[in-house]
Homo-oligomer: A and B are copies of this chain.
């Protein structure tokens, strides 16, 4: 990792990286073409910020933009906002112990982290005016000229972070806590997940390696272990997630919903609950749009599926049937088509997904995000796994039947070449094709991906920087010399990509899918992932520290919608891998096995059994894990207990002061039943004796009850004799 480290170090040495000038946020304002509009927009921006209690400084950006530096004008105002948020957390049950009534005590017992401060300031900038914010929404409506709002990197921390991580094998809780304090729980959860996944991968890597050495291909035993592992990992993570949320004090934070600015409402109505005016959008309308997800998924499947089938057919034809001229060049055709068409199609479908989600018109950021992720997952599922599905379930079992239909190419190429050099005969299924494909997706593609993700942006940035330096020298001149280096640094950061944790989650979840669905084909898959993810952890850190703007430190209490995707893949894995094992384990010995030994009901039965075994295993694992205590839950219980004890002691007062009335054990006079009845009769004569009163007056005091009871006991004995 030394190279990665130096990559960073070479960049962060000057004194301009030592201070952020107390800047909380930088607003990157693109100057519109119309001069009047530009000035008006800028003035509105500065005034809105000022009204929300934020101090501003403006500096020039690049040729056509301004950088507005923002910090909170008064620390007291910020403290009051943070305190208010903490109280809200308490009311929503996110934190169990109420904030101390003295603000100073509260902040000294639970200091404000960088992430908390930055989040609060961001909310102050973006919250609507009636809630005390500046109401600034980048890129939207009135604020369409605001390119971005970003905090400045803490380069001292970043450098140390990268240095630390690149020199240790495993991350511990402290490392994650640091991420949380700097980048918020949302990013910290990603790293926590990746770290857990990485650590868990050691098991399948070990038995995968053993299976590769000792067992035959398509091993049932390996598949069972792998499936069980995926259940355990999934269930364990669900628990760990809760635990982390408690430790980080964000459990249930997803209940505090951030309203979406783009939400459009049908009408305003009085809330039946609060009586306040709320914005209503008909859930039926939304449901109608949500139904479009079904055709959307089908369209994705059809379009991407068709593309794959097309390329697949060409590929098979060229590599295994065709033997005409230019074969060595032509074999690249499908790759060229795919690498051109696939990203384009994916992008079109993704933007369509975004559109659809926009139309669903959610009220909160979280529900919008979850819905979008769901759709992106469908696209990713199809693009990632279709080639393997085609090979495993179409080419391998039915190749002999289907390849002759590729004659259509045969004819075409005959016509074009004008000769009879195409040999479509002697076709046999290539049994290694499946394995080769899996290796491609689990090794080659991962390496390529790493390059695209980290090295390319870094190189791109360096190149752009040089080009720009050459082009425009003039902005530099207008800076005050002391600030020049700092401002240049900020201008650089303004040009960086916005970091989106979604992309990183997607990558890992799709990877988990390869493991769960297809690793039966090549049991070294988990080993490859283990190595890849060790690097991935560091390279993602690099991505945040070097090639992205510092992310807004949002909170989160889980990995969100990806959890469902993970569960789904783990479950589909049980179906797909059992089918693969059933189909191919027989032919493991000799190549080009005969599919006649395979029976429909055998395949279905193995799928059915595997699925139910999976569900049963899930049930058992869930039960066992639920029995185990975890530090986070223990902490929560302890806090709850302390809170309860305190509340009980403090606020109940009068009601509980009374001690149970112990009736005195009187030294009673000798009482016969007759005298008691006498008493009762006397009461009834003197009035005031209801039957109920009389009933309870017959035995006065415990002693009498005991006496009479003994009498009954003696009588009962006597009667028995």
Nearest CB in chain B: distance from A698 CB, A = 6
B710 touches A80 (CB 8 A): no
Pick from B19, B655, B663, B696: contact of A103, CB under 8 Å: B655
Q: A634-B272, A696-B55 are in contact. Are A103 and B654 (CB under 8 A)?
A: yes
Q: A60-B715, A287-B627 are in contact. Are A22 and B274 (CB under 8 A)?
A: no
Residues 662-706 (chain A) with a chain B CB within 8 angstroms: 662-663, 665, 677, 680, 691-692, 694-696, 698-699, 702, 705-706
Separation of A283 and B694 alpha carbons in the complex (Å): 54
Q: A21-B692, A601-B601, A699-B57 are in contact. Are A91 and B648 (CB under 8 A)?
A: yes
Pick from B601, B661, B696, B698: contact of A22, CB under 8 Å: B696
Interface residues of A (CB under 8 A from B): 19, 21-23, 31, 35, 38-39, 42-43, 46-47, 50-53, 55-60, 63-64, 66, 68-69, 71, 73-74, 76-77, 79-80, 83-84, 87, 91, 93, 101-103, 132, 272-274, 283, 286-287, 474, 478, 480, 482-483, 486, 599-601, 603-605, 607-608, 624, 627-628, 634, 637-638, 641, 643-644, 647-648, 651-656, 658, 660-663, 665, 677, 680, 691-692, 694-696, 698-699, 702, 705-706, 708-710, 712-717, 719-720
Q: Which of A23, A599, A651, A712 has the most CB of B within 10 A?
A: A712
Nearest CB in chain B: distance from A393 CB, A = 15
Question: Who on chain B is nearest to A663 by CB?
Answer: B50
A21 touches B87 (CB 8 A): no
Q: A56-B702, A274-B638, A696-B55 are in contact. Are A713 and B651 (CB under 8 A)?
A: no
B80 touches A655 (CB 8 A): yes
Nearest CB in chain B: distance from A703 CB, A = 9
A80 touches B656 (CB 8 A): yes
In the complex, besides A50-B702, A273-B638, A286-B627, 17 extra interface pairs with C-beta distance below 8 angstroms are A21-B691, A39-B710, A42-B706, A43-B709, A52-B660, A53-B663, A63-B719, A87-B648, A87-B652, A93-B93, A101-B651, A103-B654, A274-B638, A482-B691, A599-B600, A599-B601, A604-B608
A705 touches B56 (CB 8 A): yes
Question: Who on chain B is nearest to A607 by CB?
Answer: B608
Separation of A652 and B74 alpha carbons in the complex (Å): 20
Question: Who on chain B is nearest to A478 by CB?
Answer: B715
B691 touches A63 (CB 8 A): no
Separation of A443 and B71 alpha carbons in the complex (Å): 77
Separation of A19 and B696 alpha carbons in the complex (Å): 13
25 contacts between A and B (CB under 8 A): A21-B691, A21-B696, A22-B692, A22-B695, A22-B696, A35-B713, A35-B714, A38-B713, A38-B717, A39-B713, A51-B662, A53-B662, A56-B699, A57-B705, A71-B696, A80-B658, A87-B648, A87-B652, A91-B648, A101-B651, A274-B641, A480-B677, A480-B680, A601-B603, A608-B608
B627 touches A73 (CB 8 A): no
Pick from B59, B474, B644, B713: contact of A42, CB under 8 Å: B713
Nearest CB in chain B: distance from A21 CB, A = 4
Nearest CB in chain B: distance from A518 CB, A = 21
Q: A474 to chain B: which residues have CB within 8 Å?
A: 719
B58 touches A709 (CB 8 A): yes
Q: A677 to chain B: which residues have CB within 8 Å?
A: 480
5 smallest beta-carbon distances between A and B, as pairs:
A600-B601, A53-B660, A604-B604, A601-B601, A273-B638
Q: A58-B709, A655-B80 are in contact. Are A627 and B283 (CB under 8 A)?
A: yes
B695 touches A647 (CB 8 A): no
B35 touches A662 (CB 8 A): no
A482 touches B57 (CB 8 A): no
Question: Who on chain B is nearest to A662 by CB?
Answer: B51
A706 touches B19 (CB 8 A): no
B600 touches A84 (CB 8 A): no
A77 touches B661 (CB 8 A): yes
Question: Who on chain B is nearest to A74 by CB?
Answer: B661
Separation of A217 and B580 alpha carbons in the complex (Å): 38
Separation of A660 and B77 alpha carbons in the complex (Å): 6
Q: A76 to chain B: which residues have CB within 8 Å?
A: 658
B482 touches A63 (CB 8 A): no
Separation of A713 and B706 alpha carbons in the complex (Å): 100
Pick from B53, B91, B660, B702: contact of A46, CB under 8 Å: B702
